[in-house]
Structure 1
Amino acid sequence: MMRSAVFSLLLLVCLLEDSIGETDDLSSSFIQLDISGELKSLKDLVNQQAAVIEELRKENAAQASELSALKKEVDKLKNESADRPKVAFSAGLGPPAEQKGPFSADTNLIYSKVLTNIGGAYNPYTGAFTAPITGVYYIRFTASSYGSTSNNMGLNLYKNGQYLLHLGENGVDGIAKHVSSGITLELAAGDVVYTRLPANYVVWGGTDLRTTFSGFLIFLL
């Protein structure tokens, strides 16, 4: 009886040891599985970050290329602007403050009060602008009459002796008048543009520059 009890006790101890060993093995397996899962998650995260960084690198490279091309275009425009002749003028009928005209024949208007003459293409002694280079120019002019007059007020624009247009207003009411206009012209180097006071017309001159003649180069051809 005693031997049977001892044998049973020994058998129970062995079973418990086996059970504990199996539990330790299971715990070790679970720990290994947890570490493996964490490593896989970290690896996936690193790969995702690497993909994002690569995409950003490509975008930065593309933007750098665009900026480089834009800088080249800006530099090109600066060089073209620097090489392009600068032409601009503005002048008015200066003092004395008095009415010009009426005359019995068409008469060239001479704008003696020069405000701007960049490029020196306007001649204050003849009232004519000579295009220094072939291009498109903007020409603007104004006219006025002041005081009681029954004469019409206005002027004509000419190019190389060819009549281009008329700007004016009837003056029978004797009231001060102001008119202005502008035109875009394609001019070859050496073309001459000027204004003339039509016969029996009047304009007003003086320090207030009511009657003016201006122009500038828009672009080359």
Structure 2
Amino acid sequence: MANQQRGFCYTPHVAFSATLEHGGAYGPFNTDKTLVFNKLITNIGDAYSNATGIFVAPVAGIYYFTFFYHAGGKSKSRLILCKDGESIVMSSDHSTSTDGADNGGNAAVLQLKEGDQVYVHMAKDTHVWAAETQTSFSGFLISPM
């Protein structure tokens, strides 16, 4: 349900976009890693933390999330959109010696409760490109519940 304020209903505004800016090739790491998309483009409602990489739902509702990545083709890439530790959707690419670069992404519509956490996870021994705004994570509230 929409919240009540001063006698009328309003829909909270929640939307964010952030990019991964860590100076170029990022990974591979020897452990799984939550990606911290540290360069904010927008963060309406302040639900995304560019210090932790985690979106925390400020209200229950239906949300849309998407992520995109760029990576060199000589190493593996595997990103997973997670909700409270559960894998939702992923995008991956295998390494090849003839592939110069790869791009991938995925998206999902999720029903969240207030406080649910959504983030992008990078599998161990994989990498992405973390410069020039080519790897991003975005989400927004479609409808409160």
Tell whether the structures are fold-level matches, with TM greater than 0.5: yes
1:112 aligns with 2:44: no
**Greater RCO, 1 or 2 (C-alpha within 8 Å, sep 6+):** 2
Q: Which has the larger radius of gyration?
A: 1
CA deviation vs aligned residue, 1:105-162 (integer Å, no higher than 9, x gap): 111100011001000000000000000000000001001113xx53112311111111
What is the TM-score normalised by the length of structure 2?
A: 0.89
CA deviation vs aligned residue, 1:15-70 (integer Å, no higher than 9, x gap): xxxxxxxxxxxxxxxxxxxxxxxxxxxxxxxxxxxxxxxxxxxxxxxxxxxxxxxx
CA distance in 2, matches of 1:104, 1:150: 17
- SS of residue paired to 2:133: coil
Match in the other structure for 2:19 = 92
- SS of residue paired to 2:127: strand
Q: Which amino acid in 2 is paired with 1:211?
A: T
Q: Which amino acid in 2 is paired with 1:201?
A: T
Q: Which runs of 4+ in 1 moved over 2 A?
A: none
Match in the other structure for 2:129 = 204
Q: How many residues align?
A: 137
CA distance in 2, matches of 1:196, 1:180: 13
Q: As a proportion of its length, which structure holds more helix?
A: 1
Deviation at 1:171, TM superposition (A): 2.5
Match in the other structure for 1:167 = 91
Match in the other structure for 2:62 = 136
What is the TM-score normalised by the length of structure 1?
A: 0.59
Match in the other structure for 1:154 = 78
CA distance in 1, matches of 2:14, 2:70: 26
Match of residue 111, structure 2, among 176, 186, 194:
186
Indicate conservation of the 8 Å contact 1:110/1:125, yes or no: yes
CA distance in 1, matches of 2:13, 2:47: 10
- SS of residue paired to 1:157: strand
Indicate conservation of the 8 Å contact 1:145/1:176, yes or no: yes
Q: Which amino acid in 2 is paired with 1:195?
A: V
Q: Which amino acid in 1 is paired with 2:40?
A: V
CA distance in 1, matches of 2:129, 2:29: 14
CA distance in 2, matches of 1:95, 1:156: 19
Query: RMSD in angstroms over aligned alpha carbons?
Result: 1.3
Identity between Structure 1 and Structure 2 (%): 35
Indicate conservation of the 8 Å contact 2:18/2:38, yes or no: yes
- Structure 2, unmatched stretches of 5+, are 1-7
Match in the other structure for 1:103 = 29
